Homo-oligomer: A and B are copies of this chain.
C-alpha cells in the first residue's frame, strides 16, 4: 500500500510509521479482551472435549497437519497479513509472519510457539488445551497488533513463528520442525516421520505427505542459516504449579532442565502365584516396583525428578508372575552432571535390586530413548525479560506468599521449540501461571489476566531487545 523512509515495504497496509518511531513503548498496553477473543477464535478449529457450559470450555484435538491444523494455519496467515506482515512458509510447514522495522534486511526478532494442540505423547485420544503453544503464538500476534495500534516502527523486523508439530503427538518427535531449522534433525528424517496412528484409509502418512496434502510444504529452506533470527522469545504456560502456589505472576525462564528417557526391561520367570514359594520366584513386577520406588528416592535426594509413566508386562495374568516387565523412566535435573549421577545411582540400585533383592533374581537392561542436555538461555534475552517483568509486575497487586517479587527466575521442566532456537540465536522464555499445574488436558487454563500479563512481558522484552540491536 505504501512505502516509507524507514524501509517499510509495500505490503504494509497502514501506511507511514515514522510518526511512532520515536515513541516510548513503556505506555504500550496489550488489549486483554482482544487477545482472548483471538485465542478462542482460533480454537474454533479443532475444539474438542467439552467440559463446561461456556463455549470456550473445551480442550483441543488439533494434531499437526490435520484439517483443523490446516484451517488454523490459514487463520494465522489472514490475521498476520491483515497487519501488513509478510508470511512465508518453509519446507517443514513452519510459518513466519514478519512485520518490518527500520533495518528491514536484518534477521527478525521472532516470537514463537506452536498451534498444534494435543498431548505430547501418542495416545488413542490425544487431548490438549487452549493455551499450551496457542498462547505463545497469539501473544506474538497481539504484540504486533499493539505495534500497529501505536504505529510503532521497530529497529529491526519483528515477527511471529508457528512451529509445526511441536507436541510430537501425531509425528512422534517433539519440536521436530524447530529441530530441522536448527540443524539438529535432518530434513529427510523429519519428512519421513510416519504418523503414530493410521488414518481412515489404514495408511500411516508421513509428515511430507501431509505437508503436501494441506498445502504447507513451503518454498523457504528450513535452515537457520538461510532463514536466520536475531532472537527468539517464547511465552508459554508454566505447565507446573509453582507460580500459582507462590502467588506470583511471571516466570523469567533461564533455561531448560536436562532430561533423559529410558525403557527398562526386567526379566524374570512366569511361574504360578499360588505354587511358587518366594524363594523360588523371579518376580519381574515386584522387582520393577522396587526400582520405581528407588528411582524416586534417588532423584529426590539429588534435587531432581523421576517419573514412570508406562509399565507393561507379559503375559499379564492375575495368578502368574510376569516373566517380563518394561517400564519407562524419565529423569530430570537442572545440571547435566547431576542428571548423570542420578542415572548412575539408579543403574547401581537397579542392578542390586535385580540381583540381591528379588528372591531368585531377575535381569535388568536399560535402553536410552532420549538424551536432552540442559539448556541455558541467552543472557541478553533473559535480561530483556527480567526488565519487562519487573516493569509489568510493579503495577500489579503484591500477592506473593513470601511478600517478594511477582516474577521469579525459573528453569523449564519441559522441552520447547526454544531449546532448538537457542542453539542458533539468542533465546529465552516467559512463563504464565497455569491453573493447578495442569497441561495436556482439556481443562488446561491460564486466566485472561495472566495471558495478558505474559503477553505484556513478551512485548516489553522484545521491544527492549529490539532497541538494543546493533545493525
Contacts and interface: CB of A to CB of B under 8 A. Distances in A.
A271 B309 CA distance: 10
B280 A240 contact: yes
Interface stretch (A154-162, A184-192, A221-229, A285-293): A285-293
A173 interface: no
Contacts of A32: none
Given A273-B307, A280-B241, A321-B307, A315 B259 contact: no
A309 B317 contact: yes
Given A286-B293, A309-B316, A310-B316, A257 B274 contact: yes
A413 interface: yes
A278 interface: yes
Interface residues of A, number: 63
Interface string A399-420: 0000000000000111100000
A271 B438 contact: yes
Given A261-B319, A307-B319, A440 B272 contact: yes
Contacts of A286: 292-293, 296, 308
Contacts of A322: 309
Interface stretch (A39-47, A89-97, A118-126, A206-214): A118-126
Contacts of A245: 280
A201 to B, nearest CB: 22
A contacts with B: majority SS = loop
17 contacts: A119-B315, A119-B320, A239-B275, A240-B271, A261-B318, A271-B439, A272-B439, A273-B305, A273-B330, A274-B412, A276-B305, A276-B413, A283-B296, A286-B292, A286-B293, A307-B321, A318-B330
B316 A320 contact: no
A318 B280 CA distance: 32
Contacts of A310: 313, 316-318
A338 interface: no
A286 B309 CA distance: 9
Interface in A400-459: 412-415, 437-441
A270 interface: yes
A315 B123 contact: yes
Contacts of A415: 274
Interface of A: 119-123, 238-242, 245, 257, 259, 261, 269-278, 280, 283, 285-286, 288-290, 292-293, 296, 300, 305, 307-311, 313, 315-322, 328, 330, 332, 369, 412-415, 437-441
A278 B306 CA distance: 9
B277 A242 contact: yes
A437 B286 CA distance: 19
A270 B322 CA distance: 26
Contacts of A272: 239-240, 413-414, 437, 439-440
